[in-house]
A and B are shown apart, each in its own frame.
Chain A
Amino acid sequence: MTAVRSLTAVADWRSWAVFRRNGLVFLRNWRTAVIPPAMEPVIFFLAFGIGFGGFIEDLDYRGTLINYATYVAPGLIAYTGFGTPYYEALYSAYVRMFYQKTWDGILATQVELPSVVWGEILWGAVRGMVNISIVASVIAVFDLLGVVDVRLEFLVFLPVLGFFAGCAFASFALIFTAIVPAIDHMNYPVFLIGWPLSLVSNTFFPVEPESAALRALMQLNPVYQLAECARGLLVLGNPGSHLLGLLGSTALFLVPCTLLSVRLTRRRVLGD
């Protein structure tokens, strides 16, 4: 029953009240909140896609030859879709929880803890949508310049897909937010989990493990599914089985991570 309440809190007005609070703060500081973080994948695109890509021959993607910049563009969508909610739920949520005591204030109202967790998850996912939209706009410009060759009409679907996957990434990050003793300890989830996960998910280069177990494991990785879904849409206009894979792996991540986040956050914030 508690688990059901924790999961259904996503539809509760309280979760959206927390989401709204974060959104209002974002709107006050949108320039600094959007432009620098969204520039990171753009710089990556320039450095890897165009710079590094100049030394790489065309790749065969599901029977279609594409240049490296075209290969890496959907990878950057996945990288952004993962990194933005993940780091938002790690650092920004930690600051709100620990330093600003914003959650303490909120919890002294009608808002319950699962709603605080969901508010942060939804907010992280929407931040992912925003940054994916910026990266998608940059990809569109490079498509018009002839640097990449993508199906522009499918770019609009990517923020929506990123939102669903972003919920899973934010819920995953909140587990660490609830347990790290101090903000310096965020280095563990950042460098030992975040970075490796964003690199071995067909974002910047194809990963084709020999082992069947590793291949199966990859199917459960929502970053990989997001990258392949975006690539399928942008290159072929068809995500193939990766759309289902993305929704399935997102659900597989989201449900246990949310339940665990609620449990651990309850222990940390409420001492229960």
Chain B
Amino acid sequence: MTTAILEARDLTKSYGDRVVVDHLDLSCRPGTVLGLLGPNGAGKTTTLRMLYGFVPPDEGTIYYGGKRFSENRAEAKRMIGVSTQDDSLDYDFTVAQNLLIYASYFRPRVENLEGRVSELLERFDLTPYADESPHVLSGGYVRRLLIARSIVHRPSVLFLDEPTTGLDPSARLDVWELIDGMRADGLGIVLTTHYMDEAERLSDELLVIHEGRNVVHGEPHRVIDSVLGDHVIIVPRAEPAREEIAAWLQDRGAEQVATVLGELRVPVSKEDLAALTARFGDATWQVRPPNLDDLFIALARRNGRPT
């Protein structure tokens, strides 16, 4: 297995009495995408801000390229690219100048900068807008420019904080392609998103955090399997035996019985599904594989939040 380009151990951060990140470990290898997931307030943003170097951890250590971040700050920051959730483009400059000015914030200087800028404009389909103000760009193209800007200095690790929020489906798919391409180039990518399909399809590994702690970590299907099992059954609101099915499943040990718009959603094992079919053969329900949406709902319920 390739050595991690980013590794964080025991990260802890408190604000006052509130522990926001609690002894969190994570790592990201070159050419992989680490999906960092968690409900609002889980501690994702604080974790990212520690990894960017915006705030120091109270405890724990961050390594970039095997070297301690706190002792090699400038070198480490040369290795990372950050595409924040907010639009922080410099609207005083054109699209191409945004890349040029951003590159000026790094040392050693970017080699063959003009060539690098042309390459990025081409790759991110921004060449027609090179001399325009970013004001003319659509939301999808603003996001392209933000990502292009964050890799102008050829970093080894890229942080993408909700890169497709607010984009239409077509623009989202375009950003997915770009992320996939950057991964293929060997970049280690840390991705946060609220779109579960995005996390599932793009991530090589998932780290789900809740209340600052690592809840589950691993490959997406293993993460889902470890929490949810084999299937999810969906019992429609109109099914007369709905309440009876819920009670029966709970008697068999199902802990994650969720109600969504009147529908019953329950992760079940193969064995439970077989028993359910035998017991409620006349009832109507659907069966599908579990996904990250189910995982989120399950985790929220596990932690006492209403679904």
Contact = CB atoms under 8 A, between A and B. Distances in A.
Interface stretch (A63-71, A97-105, A200-208, A215-223): A97-105
B277 to A, nearest CB: 53
Interface in B54-69: 54-56
A185 interface: no
Contacts of A25: 92-93
Given A21-B104, A271-B49, A110 B89 contact: no
B74 interface: yes
A270 B55 contact: yes
B105 A106 contact: yes
Contact of B102 (A24, A101, A109): A109
B67 to A, nearest CB: 15
B266 interface: no
A102 B74 contact: no
Contacts of B285: none
B101 interface: yes
B78 interface: yes
B75 to A, nearest CB: 9
Contacts of B77: 109-110
B247 to A, nearest CB: 47
A28 B92 contact: yes
A28 B133 CA distance: 13
Sorting the interface of chain A by its residue count into under 10, 10 to 19, 20 to 34 or 35 or more gives 20 to 34
Sorting the interface of chain B by its residue count into under 10, 10 to 19, 20 to 34 or 35 or more gives 20 to 34
Nearest to B46: A271
A110 B74 contact: yes
A107 B88 CA distance: 10
A199 interface: no
Nearest to A101: B88
A17 interface: yes
A169 B198 CA distance: 49
Interface string A5-28: 000000001100100110011001
B302 interface: no
A272 interface: yes
Contact of A108 (B73, B74, B150): B150
A152 interface: no
Contacts of A20: 104
B124 interface: no
Interface stretch (B27-35, B79-87, B267-275): B79-87
Interface string B140-157: 000000000110010000
Given A107-B54, A110-B78, A271-B55, A100 B90 contact: yes
A190 interface: no
A133 B56 CA distance: 44
Interface string A108-150: 1111100000000000000000000000000000000000000
A105 to B, nearest CB: 4
B107 interface: yes
Contact of B84 (A13, A24, A104, A272): A104
Contacts of B104: 17, 20-21
- For B49, B104, B106, the residue with the greatest tally of chain A CB atoms inside 10 Å of its CB is B104
Nearest to B103: A109
Contacts of B129: none
Contact of A101 (B55, B78, B87, B105): B87
A109 B150 CA distance: 9
A25 B87 CA distance: 19
B296 interface: no
A102 to B, nearest CB: 6
A169 to B, nearest CB: 23
A112 B150 CA distance: 16
A270 B49 contact: yes
Contacts of B153: 109
Contact of B88 (A14, A17, A105): A105
Given A24-B93, A110-B105, 11 more contacts: A17-B105, A20-B104, A102-B90, A106-B105, A108-B82, A109-B102, A109-B106, A270-B54, A271-B54, A272-B54, A272-B55
Interface of B: 49, 52, 54-56, 73-74, 77-78, 82, 84, 86-93, 101-102, 104-107, 149-150, 153
20 contacts: A13-B107, A28-B92, A100-B90, A101-B86, A102-B90, A104-B84, A104-B86, A105-B88, A105-B90, A105-B149, A107-B54, A108-B84, A108-B88, A109-B102, A109-B153, A110-B105, A112-B73, A270-B49, A272-B54, A272-B56
